[in-house]
Structure formats: structure tokens, C-alpha cells
Chain A
């Protein structure tokens, strides 16, 4: 890890020194254990703030849309896939972006840590030889790293950036194909059961929209939840069904664009399971269109293809 940190710092410093970019977006040390935080570096001497660790969980593609200046970004596999989709959607100008690719071994899910510690507070952590040593007041326990990684990381098929200009370190091995067993388990449930599950999860939603804001692909100028003419759904949370509706439509908007980076799920302060919906969408798009978002710049997004409106089978004259 420290080697990657050093490589990132040197690369960033050079890019800034040579004025190849005006800004490097990467990660710095965070203020909490096992946490790194997005960091914006503009001066070569500030490049030493950049680090790489197991807490670089944010998707930095979120900061790259419509930027006026030339930017370099530290990108792991999922960030790079979002970048690919954003380039296709004309949100990022490829010519103004330098991708510093970093092979990713997965990021630590602090919710899993919280669950494991069952009320004890994590004050310090150390990662060595595939083990995470969790320390707090009067305790220290060692847990296999694999047990603490985000679920997204456990099924991730693209830990190595799919798009990069400069690569840091050596590629990491790719896991077995994602079997989507979690989605399959959800799919076999009866409709009432699925509904009950979503209602139960989304009853906790406080409509803070952290999920939407954390998603690199949620960039609609006016989000449908904010529309007042027409108002698609209630702005209050008196009725949980509106929260479900919000997430369902959000997931649908992301069909063929979601790279399953898990940013929405990680951002949710209420710990709501948002990935069941987005993963279902990812699986459907793969099955129906043979499309995996964010792996190729050349492949057209399936739902961006023009719809044949003259086909009478699809639309009648009223447009229905």
C-alpha cells in the first residue's frame, strides 16, 4: 500500500509540476480509522497529502463532471468504469482527463466493522498480511481482511482500471465471475415478500439524498424527485411507498449506466440496502442486452439506442 501511495504522490507531483494538469483528485488520510477522504491537490508540494489505503471507498468520478480545467484522477476499477460511462454521456472530456489507474484489492466496509464490534468503538486499525487488527478501548482483535470488505468488492470483476493513462503498481488477480446469487435469491421471492422487504428497508429513509448525490451517474439537472410540475412523488415521508418509488425510479434511471460501485449504498447514513435494486438492474441489463456498464468506450449504452417510434407494435398513434 505504501508503495502505491508513493507512486501516486510522485505521479501527481510530476503532472502538476509539468503543468499537464491543474488539479489532481485523489484520496488523503481521513479523520476516522480505516477512512480515507477525497482530496483536491493543486500544488506539486501538496501531492504528499495523497495516500492509498483500504478506506478509499468513494467513487471519485463524481467530482469530474463538467470540469473546466484539466484534471488527473486517482481511479480504482469502479471509478474508471464510471468515468467510461460519463465520457459516453458527454459529462467528461477525455482530452482534459488524465486517469491515474490504481489496481484495487477491495475497500473496507466500516458498517461491517461496526456490526462486528457490536457497540465497541473502533479507535485504531492496522492492516497486515491479509489481517485487520481492530483496536479500541481495552480491546484488540484480528479479523481476516476478506471478512470486512464491501460486498461490491467481493463480487467486483474489474478491480483493475479499465481505462487509464498511467498505471500504478501491478494488476491484481480478477475474481471468479459474479454469480449474482444475492439477486437470484431476491428474484425467487414472492412479489409480496419483495415488496415487504423494500418497504421495511426504505421505511428508514430520511430523504437526505446522499445516495443520489454520491452516485457519479445521478447528474440530472433536475432530479425527478425535485420536480414540482408535475410532481411525481410526495416530498414527505409520511408514506413509505414514496421512498420505495424514489429508489425504484432511481435504479431504473441507472439501468445500463450503473457500474455497481456501491457508492449509493455506502453513502446512506441509515444503512438501507440499496444494492438489491441496483444489482437487479445490472443483472437484467446483462441478461437482456448483453451489456456491462463501463467496460468499453466503444460499446453504446443499450438504453441510449434510438427507439423505433414508427413500429406499430411498439407505439400506437397516441404515443402510448
Chain B
């Protein structure tokens, strides 16, 4: 199908009647996914958002339930967001991150209703990357600038129009009423050329990384590799697959809410026991945890690396601690049998 760029605003306005529509909008110098109330707010000529669209499904802070204590009991009110949503213009890497997050929030035994309800009610309209950034390495992780995994629709920018690839029935429904023409031969040809032209300049060698990480826990490499890390959460909070959270109460008098907030393995408090003991007492253990979690533990548990190669951690690190370099250093280290 073909969508004229001039029709985009109308289309979004139409979708807004039945859905909350989230799209990249400019905030300060950066782009973030925010709910828009007019189609013209969406800005699709952007490279990638500062904070990944995971915040639409898994907000930085959200209420789990509210409560009111009474003499004889407590009234709980679940705060599950059931509104129908569309995320428009997300990049294929971010769409892939949702597939990884699904595994975390849905186990055999427990389902997280907050994430999963939003997830089930959200349609994903992707935007292919005509010009991936130099920090992008999605292809090293099985993704690609025009990968469709996890998406319902994919928009391919061919200049004044988008070629709309319909990937699911949910995606098709969004186009109902638009009466879009099928993509003609010329448009298809342009789309093909656009896709070919979107080459990535960065590759990260992940071959054999897992088996190396399997035996490298006690390696002295960790003593040095984290050294410049400041221990902030700029990397984890802008990572589309990081999902750690904290749960707190906020109350006044006999009423309050239980809230969950993003949390990060880079903070010392994250693992500090009440007794004062901390299993991950220094930056070394915490940085190792971040690398291990993404590239080993997640692979053990979900058979996938918890990284989509979006490059946000590279761009946002205040000290330029580059995950590509970290992985290369691990790859280049001597394999030794893991001993404490």
C-alpha cells in the first residue's frame, strides 16, 4: 500500500478517535514517544528517540494499585491501563525489544498484568531506517533497518510517500477507511533501493561470546573494564530491553498507592540487604551484572541476547563507555577456566 506523506496527519487524526496514539515528538533537543492529540505533532524524520518507546508499555513510574485502609479491612483498586494504543514511527530495533520484554513479564507461573494488558492493546506501526546511525548495530543481533519482527505495519519512506507493509491483521485494520492504493512497481523499486542503501557501518562480533562469558565471571578483566563507569543509570534507563524496577508505597493518611519505578543494576542500593551485606558491592560487580545479564543470563533463560543494537547506551553514556568496545575486549581476552 502507499500512503502519501500529506495523508499522514489525517490518518493519525482518524486513528486517534479509537486509540491513544504515541509518536515521536521533539522535546528540547531530542525525540521522545509521547501521546499526541493532533496528527501533525508526530515527527517521523528523526533518527531514534532518546528514551525508547518501552516507556509507553512500561512507564518510568506507574501505579500498581491504590488503597484505602479502613477499620475493618483495606480497599484495593487495581490501576490497569486498558486503553487501546498505537505506537507510530518506532524503529524495528525497538519493536524487537518488546518481544524480549514479553518473555520477562510473562512466565509460566506469573503474568504481569500491567505490561501485558498494555502490550495486548497496543498496535505497532514501525518506521524503517533509511539512514541508520553510526552507533546502530541491530544487524549484529539478528535485526535490521527494515526488520518487521514484532511489528503490525512497517512504513518505508520513499521520499514523498510511505510504502506501507501490512504484517498482521491488526495492522490491516488500522488502514481501513483510508482506501490506500497498492504500491506500484515504481514505488516497490524505490523501496527496494532505499532498503539496499541503508547499510550499517557498525558490526559487533558476537560469535562465541556466550561461551566466553560462561567461564569469565571471575576473570580479572572485570577489574578494569568498568573503571570509568560512573554508576548512573543513563544506559539502563535509555535501554529498550532493561526492565528492572523497584516497588514503593506513596501514601498520605490512610490512603495511598503502590508504585513501581524503573530501577537499575548500576545502583548500589539495588542489591543492598537490610543487614548491610551487598552481594554486588562495587562498580565491578554491578557492571559485570549488566553485561552478564544481557549477553549470558538472558541467553540462558530466554535463548536470546537482551540487546537490540539501538546504540542508545553508546550515545548516552556520560563517559563514553562503549558497549561495542566492552564486548570486543571480552572477545579478545584469553579464555581461562573460571575460578574464584
Interface, chain A (partner B; CB < 8 A): 30-32, 35-40, 58, 62-63, 111, 114-115, 119, 121, 123, 137, 204, 206-210, 212-214, 226, 234-238, 263, 266-267, 269-272
Q: Which of these, B135, B234, B248, B325, contacts A267 with CB under 8 Å?
A: B234
Q: How far is the CA of A38 from the CA of B228 in the complex (A)?
A: 6
Residues from chain B with a CB closer than 8 A to the CB of A35 are: 320
- Please report the C-alpha to C-alpha distance between residue A40 and residue B315 in the assembled complex, in whole angstroms: 21
Within B196-255, the residues touching A (CB, 8 Å) are 224, 227-228, 230-234, 236-238, 246, 248, 250
Could you name 15 residue pairs across A and B whose Cβ atoms are closer than 8 Å? A31-B322, A37-B228, A37-B321, A38-B228, A119-B45, A204-B32, A208-B233, A208-B237, A209-B233, A210-B230, A214-B230, A214-B319, A235-B246, A238-B61, A269-B318
Question: Given A213-B231, A267-B232, is A37 in contact with B47 using a C-beta cutoff of 8 Å?
Answer: no
Q: In the complex the two chains form, is A213's CB within 8 Å of B232's CB?
A: yes
Check B230–A32 contact: CB distance below 8 A.
no
A-side contacts of B302, CB under 8 Å: none
Whether, in the assembled complex, B105 has its beta carbon less than 8 Å from a beta carbon of chain A, the answer is no
Which residues on A sit within 8 Å (CB–CB) of B14? none
What 1/0 mask marks residues of chain B from 77 to 97 whose CB sits below 8 Å from any chain A CB?
Answer: 000000000000000000000
The reply on B184 being an interface residue by CB < 8 A is no
Q: Which residues of A contact B262 (CB under 8 A)?
A: 206-207
Given contacts A31-B324, A214-B318, A236-B261, contact A111 B29 (CB under 8 A): yes
How close is B222's CB to chain A, nearest CB, in angstroms? Answer: 14
Give residues of chain B (107-139) contacting chain A, Cβ–Cβ below 8 Å. Answer: 131, 133-135
Residues A236 and B61 in contact, CB atoms below 8 Å apart: yes
Using known A-B contacts A213-B232, A267-B232, A267-B318, determine if residue A237 contacts B61 with beta carbons closer than 8 Å.
Answer: yes
Residues from chain B with Cβ under 8 Å of A236 in the complex: 61, 248, 250, 259, 261
Nearest Cβ distance between residue A112 and chain B, in whole angstroms? Answer: 9
A115 and B29 within 8 A (CB) = yes
> What sequence of 0s and 1s flags, for each residue 1-34 of chain B, a beta carbon within 8 Å of any chain A beta carbon?
0000000000000000000000000011110100
B234 to chain A, nearest CB (A): 4
Give the complex CA separation of A165 and B1 in angstroms.
Answer: 69
User: By the criterion CB–CB under 8 Å, are B318 and A58 in contact?
Assistant: yes
Number of residue pairs spanning A and B whose beta carbons lie under 8 angstroms apart:
120
Report A9 CB to chain B, min CB distance, Å. 19
How many Å lie between the Cα of A1 and that of B45 in the bound state? 37
CB of B285 to closest CB in A, whole Å: 17
Which one, B30, B135, B250, B264, contacts A32 given CB within 8 A? B135
A269 and B28 alpha carbons, distance in the complex (Å)? 11
A62 and B319 CA atoms in complex are apart in Å by 11
Q: Which residues of the other chain, B, contact A213 by a CB distance below 8 angstroms?
A: 230-232, 318
Out of B28, B315, B322, B325, which one reaches A204, CB within 8 Å?
Answer: B28
> Is the beta-carbon distance between A206 and B318 smaller than 8 angstroms?
no
Closest-CB distance, A231 to chain B (whole angstroms): 9
Q: Once the chains are docked, how many angstroms separate the CA of A209 from the CA of B63? A: 22
Q: How far is the CB of B193 from chain A (nearest CB, A)?
A: 16
Q: Say whether, besides A58-B318, A214-B318, A271 and B30 are in contact (CB < 8 Å).
A: yes
Given pairs A32-B315, A206-B233, A206-B262, 4 additional interface contacts (CB within 8 A): A38-B228, A63-B228, A210-B230, A271-B30
Q: Does chain A have a CB within 8 A of B141?
A: no
User: Within the assembled complex, what's the spacing in Å between the Cα atoms of A177 and B131?
Assistant: 45
- The answer on a CB contact under 8 Å between A32 and B314 is yes
A-side contacts of B288, CB under 8 Å: none
Q: B61 — which chain A residues lie within 8 A by C-beta?
A: 236-238
Most A-side CB within 10 Å, residue of B224, B236, B316:
B316
Q: Which residue of A lies closest to B26 (CB)?
A: A119
A237 to B314, CA, bound (A): 25
* Cα–Cα, bound, A104→B248 (Å): 46
- Assess whether B68 is interfacial by the CB under 8 Å rule: no
Residues of chain B contacted by A207 (CB below 8 angstroms): 60, 233, 237, 261-262
Are B47 and A271 interface neighbours, CB within 8 A? no
Is the pair A237, B261 in contact by a Cβ cutoff of 8 Å? yes
Q: Mark B143-163, 1 if CB is under 8 A from A, else 0.
A: 000000000000000000000
